[in-house]
Structure 1
Amino acid sequence: MTALMGIDARLKLARLYLCTDARQEQGDLPDFLEAVLAGGVDLVQIRQKGMSRADELDVLALARRIAMPYQGLVVVNDSPAVAGEFRADVLHLGQDDEKPKRARRALHEWAKIGMSTHDPKQMRAAISDADVDYFCVGPVWQTPTKPDYTPAGLDLVRAAAEAAPPSDPGAKPWFAIGGIADDTVDHVIEAGARRVVVVRAICDAADPGAAARRLKDRLRQAWRDDPAMEAYSIRAVQG
């Protein structure tokens, strides 16, 4: 088995980030997670409102067991309290959640915090916040998971690529999110993204593992096509 990389290296090398519910309707969460992680998902966020804390902790523990052989990271959504009890490696916060500095008090010392951003001002705030380790920009396109948000469009992706160039070892990793699928991923790549978050493109696919593999292959190719990203990858592995 390949030696386990540290959390920082795994985050920097991440390309494909999946948000999923607990698959209670389908009843296939273990098989689903195994398939998508084998297909190339690097981070898995379990995001299901209304679950009891006990059920959420059970689902997170399951995800961690399945993700570990793939060096995948499991992300807790919104709750520093759950993240602390779970000893989470990654906590993701929205603009209306607890502030990162306060949230960090619940986490172990190596844990990472992500932040959703929806406009240039929020993006710049995330970049300048020492307690934010990565950020997401979007939704790029309209999505039913965020029906109340006006799409940010590709301009926000371009702004992120300028403010935090993906190949800059000193820049925070960031992910484009919102409506990204097989037919749109090339647009965000062309706008400067090298990492994406997906939901329906994998969760609603007839073959989730194959859907993950297609997206991951496209992102891998984008990194290979960019000599600066190749150099970035080497530095990330070396620490």
Structure 2
Amino acid sequence: MTPRERLSTARLYLVCPARSREWIAAAVRGGVDLIQLRDKTLDDAGVLEAAKAFVGHDALFILNDRPDLVEACGADGVHVGQDDESPAAARALIGPDRILGRSTHEPAQAAAADADPAVDYVAVGPVHATPTKPGRPAAGLHYVAHAADTVRKPWFAIGGLDAANVHEVVERGATRIVVVRAITEAEDPEAAARELRSALEETSIVR
């Protein structure tokens, strides 16, 4: 399957800093479909070294905000935020076959990403305020409902989501989520991923 074909059925997306290969394998066994390396403390050499643990699992490997290193890292794609390189510039670096994701925080940004031919998937949030994005106000559950009604590309709800509140976004139309602390701070990443996956699969239709 191509990266885009795998993306079309993906439900659970994990963003994390550098981790061991064993830790990542456990999260993937639990049901993670995409895993993004996001570690702003690393220099280029550090990113290349950390990426080795992310390659070769049964999950898409996405690199945060480094389209210039995607090929060298063996990543399946890149994720860019509103303050990062434009999707068009990132696409020029990664080529036509890898996937590209875009963060959005309001309806106009979601519409732009949905219409942008360089973008493959859209992140919608943060649903709740989260320490991984200090200073960014929550976009709220109404933004999730808006995305469910309007965004046609694969999209993921993101921001402060865990097994206890994932039902809130599912009830508003989300079928895909991004998590960070719900797995990275868990004692058992496989069990944490499995619990999240189970909560998500209460919905049977992937938009």
Normalising by the smaller structure, the TM-score range is: over 0.9
State which of 118, 131, 137 in structure 1 corresponds to 2:105: 118
SS in 2 for 1:63: coil
State which of 26, 30, 37 in structure 2 corresponds to 1:39: 30
Match of 1:86 in 2: 73
Work out the CA distance in 1 between the residues paired with 2:124 and 2:157. Answer: 5
One-letter code aligned to 1:40: G
Match of 2:187 in 1: 206
State which of 136, 150, 172 in structure 2 corresponds to 1:149: 136
One-letter code aligned to 1:63: F
Work out the CA distance in 1 between the residues paired with 2:37 and 2:90. Answer: 18
One-letter code aligned to 1:37: V
- 1:19 lines up with 2:6 in the alignment: no
What is the 5 A alignment of 1:69-84?
A: 70=58, 72-84=59-71
What is the 5 A alignment of 1:122-133?
A: 122-133=109-120
SS in 2 for 1:115: strand
Q: Is the 8 A contact 1:88 1:107 kept in 2?
A: no
State which of 97, 105, 114 in structure 1 corresponds to 2:92: 105
Q: Is the 8 A contact 1:80 1:91 kept in 2?
A: yes
TM-score normalised according to structure 2 size: 0.96
- 1:160 lines up with 2:156 in the alignment: no
Work out the CA distance in 2 between the residues paired with 1:181 and 1:204. Answer: 11
Match of 1:237 in 2: none
**How far has the Cα of 1:87 moved from its partner?**
4.4
**How far has the Cα of 1:57 moved from its partner?**
1.3
Work out the CA distance in 1 between the residues paired with 2:127 and 2:107. Answer: 13
One-letter code aligned to 1:112: I
Work out the CA distance in 2 between the residues paired with 1:207 and 1:87. Answer: 27
- 1:184 lines up with 2:165 in the alignment: yes
Q: Which runs of at least 4 in structure 1 moved beyond 3 Å after TM superposition?
A: none
Q: Is the 8 A contact 1:140 1:153 kept in 2?
A: yes
Q: Percentage identity across aligned positions?
A: 44
Q: Which has the larger share of helix? A: 1
SS in 2 for 1:160: helix
Structure number with greater Rg is 1
Gaps of 5+ in 1: 24-28, 165-170, 233-239
Match of 2:43 in 1: 52
TM-score normalised according to structure 1 size: 0.83
Work out the CA distance in 2 between the residues paired with 1:111 and 1:179. Answer: 28
**How far has the Cα of 1:130 moved from its partner?**
0.9
Gaps of 5+ in 2: none
SS in 2 for 1:19: strand
State which of 61, 82, 94 in structure 2 corresponds to 1:95: 82
